[in-house]
Structure 1
Amino acid sequence: MILTVTLNAALDVTYGVDVLRPGTTHRVSTVVERAGGKGVNVARLLHALGEPVMATGLAGGATGARIRDLLAAAGVPEAFTSIDGESRRTVVVASDDGEPTGFWEPGPRVAAPEWSAFLERYRGLLADADVVALCGSLPPGVPDDGYATLIGLARSAGVATILDADGGPAYLGIRARPDVVKPNARELSTLHSIILRRRVQIGGVSEAREAAAAVRHLGAQTVVASLGAAGLLADTGDLVLHAAPPEVVTGNPTGAGDACVAALARGLRSGRPWPERLRDAVALSAAAVAAAVAGELSPIDYERLHASVSVTELP
């Protein structure tokens, strides 16, 4: 199975409005609630694609209970560890006249015994896992090297790992040698800046290629960078590949990165060649943008785009 880890799970609330005007009152036309957090979105997508999956992480309070209830209603298996703190909420305001606006709570503080309890459950779940996807931010109280610890435990159990995180926790996690690291352009810029100890900005495929090579040499076996409308750049050590969508897809980009991780996880589990993994990842990401809510996708767009994604090997 594919195990997804969401240490900072959230209740995602999406408000639909006609026009978003700061400083004014809005009448909300639609309200959608989803169990959220990056790993939860990955699990939901994998379940929709028919892949065997288990979602785990930390969840607490009434919000945490709601997250688990929504996963159960969606048919997604879960094995979350309960904590005393209240799980966070995220609010996205989606309007017809522009990009969605998001509000992210920081998450509950996790006590040391709660983190230890999660590690014990995680060790048990690894016994049935082929791939682990470690996704999202760390809540307060979880050590900065939390992802490094989880990657080390997975490596010891012979389980492949994908890391989708940001900043210091991502940097420390990469040094633990995950199989795949999946940053977006901003996250890749941050990682490259940490490595070089000076600020750098990713402006295109060439800069992304240089930064991906630096991240791979830090410890990642493969780096897959998502570059928005420009597609994906992958440095596997043996190959450097660029996968691009046939068209620009407009909509809600919130879940595109999670769809990419879902595709990479199932590709890693199946052993597909890298060009096929990237073609699947680009098509799934674009289909997620076309969907109204993060963690879902448009099957029609997925099938249409999959056949037209171009994958080029760079010299």
Structure 2
Amino acid sequence: MILTVTPNPSLDRTYELPGLTRGAVLRATYDRVDPGGKGINVSRAVAAAGHRTIAVAPLGGPEGALLARLLGEHGIEAAGVPIVGSTRINVTLVEPDGTLTKVNAVGPEITVAEAAALLDAVRTRSATTDWIVCSGSLPRGLSSQWYAELVARSHRAGARIALDTSGAALIAALPERPDVVKPNAEELAEAVGRPLETVGDAVKAAEELRERGARAVLASLGADGQLLVDGTGTYFGSARVDAVRSNVGAGDASLAGFLTAGGRGPAALAAAVAHGAAAVQLPGSVMPTPAELDLSAVTTTTDIALDRPLTDAAS
């Protein structure tokens, strides 16, 4: 069972538009609303794969009530922690060529009592978990040390931790030795404080995160593929994608695929790549089912072209 922790969840509204014109009245050709937030997306992908998952998240207002209902419709057990503020709503606008414009709300401020209740909700449900996934930005009211405390507590309880966050929260948690961290290229560049222009640059940055405490690094490099650096070696995976419809939640789908495939080694990397490739071909933040995965389109290797330029260099 995989337990996810999403301190700043959202309702994700997606509108597909014939074009994006500032100042105009636009009519969507397609729209949907999904339960959102990085950890919740992981739970959705885990549930879509047929595995049990529990989503711990602060929920407030009518938005929080709708989020809890949507989680239930996805077959996810919602461990909602009541808060005074209202759950945020994020909006994604999709143009025909696949260009995405995202508007993410700040979200509510979490009180000291609500933060303690979140930690307690994780503690009371972690005894039977295979993985605890800590994902996303920290809302107002939680310090950059909050994930570090959660990782330390979870390790003391014997749980394995996957951490997907960035900035000060990631740096603070590294000394607590999370079992896997999952940055994208921009987050990886930010963590090491230098630009990444080649795959080799990304490998060196991932190795540096391991030196600072991470036991494994699963890095999403956008259209170029994914990189896994752990105690057994360095692996690179990529997949053929015919057309990108939406990349919202694709990294979360990748992490779910990695963990449900064991969370270690090239086979888990291949599952991560397959999940990510399937997710970008679906609308909004829809998570792929096993029928939509194509492992035959995935290639993994240890023979990595370190001088290969990244399609989107990370500053």
| Equivalent position to 1:213, from 181, 190, 207 | 207
Q: Show the counterpart of 2:254.
A: 260
- Point out the more displaced range, 160-169 or 237-246: 237-246
| DSSP 3-state at the match of 1:8 | coil
Give distance in 2, aligned partners of 1:298 and 1:289.
Answer: 13
User: Normalized against structure 1, the TM-score is what?
Assistant: 0.93
C-alpha spacing 1:100/1:115, structure 2 compared with 1 (3 Å): same
C-alpha spacing 1:276/1:184, structure 2 compared with 1 (3 Å): same
Give distance in 2, aligned partners of 1:276 and 1:222.
Answer: 15
C-alpha spacing 1:245/1:189, structure 2 compared with 1 (3 Å): same
Q: Show the counterpart of 2:96.
A: 96
Query: Does 2:286 match 1:292?
Result: no
- Identify unmatched segments of 5+ residues in structure 2: 305-315
| DSSP 3-state at the match of 1:54 | strand
Give distance in 1, aligned partners of 2:236 and 2:132.
Answer: 24
1:84-127 CA distances to partner (integer Å, 9 max, x unpaired)? 01111100011213411110001100000111111112111111
1:179-230 CA distances to partner (integer Å, 9 max, x unpaired)? 000000000001011xxxxxx1112210000100111111000011110111
Give distance in 2, aligned partners of 1:18 and 1:300.
Answer: 29
Give distance in 2, aligned partners of 1:239 and 1:295.
Answer: 32
Q: Is the 8 A contact 1:288 1:298 kept in 2?
A: no
C-alpha spacing 1:145/1:295, structure 2 compared with 1 (3 Å): farther
Q: Is the 8 A contact 2:228 2:236 kept in 1?
A: yes
Q: Any runs of at least 4 consecutive aligned residues in structure 1 with deviations exceeding 3 A, and if so which?
A: 246-249, 298-301
* Structure 1 residue 131: Cα displacement: 0.4
The within-5 A match list for 1:99-114 is 99-114=99-114
Q: Is the 8 A contact 2:144 2:169 kept in 1?
A: yes
| Equivalent position to 1:224, from 198, 214, 218 | 218
Query: Does 2:302 match 1:313?
Result: yes
Q: Is the 8 A contact 2:240 2:277 kept in 1?
A: no
* Structure 1 residue 75: Cα displacement: 1.9
- Point out the more displaced range, 30-39 or 92-101: 92-101
Query: Does 2:185 match 1:164?
Result: no
Query: Does 2:155 match 1:155?
Result: yes
Greater share of helix: 1
C-alpha spacing 1:46/1:83, structure 2 compared with 1 (3 Å): same
Query: Does 2:76 match 1:76?
Result: yes
User: Normalized against structure 2, the TM-score is what?
Assistant: 0.93
Give distance in 1, aligned partners of 2:199 and 2:150.
Answer: 31
Instruction: For CA contacts below 8 A with separation 6 or more, give which structure has more relative contact order.
Output: 2
Report the identity percentage: 35
* Structure 1 residue 275: Cα displacement: 0.9
Q: Is the 8 A contact 1:7 1:138 kept in 2?
A: yes
Give distance in 2, aligned partners of 1:260 and 1:98.
Answer: 20
Give distance in 2, aligned partners of 1:167 and 1:80.
Answer: 26
Q: Show the counterpart of 2:144.
A: 144
* Structure 1 residue 268: Cα displacement: 3.2
- Residue type at the aligned position of 2:226: L
Give distance in 2, aligned partners of 1:60 and 1:66.
Answer: 10
* Structure 1 residue 249: Cα displacement: 4.3
Q: Show the counterpart of 1:2.
A: 2
- State how many pairs are aligned: 304
Q: Show the counterpart of 1:283.
A: 274
- Identify unmatched segments of 5+ residues in structure 1: 194-199
Give distance in 2, aligned partners of 1:187 and 1:207.
Answer: 13
C-alpha spacing 1:295/1:164, structure 2 compared with 1 (3 Å): farther
* Structure 1 residue 178: Cα displacement: 0.3
Q: Show the counterpart of 2:43.
A: 43
Q: Show the counterpart of 1:197.
A: none
- Point out the more displaced range, 274-283 or 230-239: 230-239
Q: Show the counterpart of 1:251.
A: 245
Aligned CA RMSD, in angstroms, stands at 1.5
Query: Does 2:15 match 1:24?
Result: no
Q: Show the counterpart of 1:201.
A: 195
Q: Is the 8 A contact 1:111 1:141 kept in 2?
A: yes
1:143-191 CA distances to partner (integer Å, 9 max, x unpaired)? 2111111111110011101001010001111221100000000000010
Give distance in 1, aligned partners of 2:101 and 2:90.
Answer: 11
1:39-58 CA distances to partner (integer Å, 9 max, x unpaired)? 11110111010111111121
Give distance in 1, aligned partners of 2:16 and 2:290.
Answer: 22
